[in-house]
Amino acid sequence: MHYLIAAVLGYLIGAVPTAYLVVKKLTGQDIRQVGSGNVGATNVKRAAGFKPFLFVLLVDFLKGTLPVLLAKFVFPGAPWLHVLVALSTVIGHSKSIYLGFAGGKSAATGLGGFVGLDPVAGILLGVIAYVTMRLTRMVSVGSMLASVLAPIMLIVFKAPLPYQIYAAIAGIYVIYLHKANIQRLLNGTENRI
């Protein structure tokens, strides 16, 4: 029963459509009809500017981090439950019940869950993603590189096996959600920041 409740709560928290709510409040627009149409922080920057982008990025990150930290606090010896909560927030962000099961690409929320599971590895991964984004000027490249490196880092950091499995599954899922970006990268038409 604990696992079911944790999964549902994780999903509902992850599903809160921060980008949609912020853009709607500030501009009256539906973010799904603006820019790339993605319900994520990068598209908020296009639709509403830098400060709203930072706010959405932070909230989406915390949607992944805080539920995992709470799960670790309440159930410290249950790594599979921690992973279930982290994965539920990622799925919630990308398949939000509040938006008819549409959503963002879960990069910030996935990183947030990763930091909740292993703070040192997560912060290092975030730095790598940020530097990559700055060098390439493409958020998608930084997000996908982080997704590839996440399970490798947890193996190196000797994290519990369930955490390593989470990193692999979430990483594959986030890359899958970037399939349109991959096509644009191959075509040389990917959006830059």
Which residue ranges make up each domain of the chain? Answer: 2-187
pLDDT at 37: 87
User: Using CA atoms, how far apart are residues 136 and 163, in angstroms rounded to an integer?
Assistant: 29
Angle between helices 79-94 and 107-117 (to 10 degrees): 170
Confidence category of residue 125, pLDDT binned at 50, 70, 90:
very high
pLDDT at 36: 82
pLDDT at 166: 92
- 65-74: average pLDDT: 96
- 158-166: average pLDDT: 94
The SS3 call for residue 157 is coil
User: Using CA atoms, how far apart are residues 133 and 131, in angstroms rounded to an integer?
Assistant: 5
- 131-151: average pLDDT: 93
pLDDT at 193: 75
Percent of the chain with pLDDT over 70: 100
Give the residue with greater pLDDT, 61 vs 46.
61
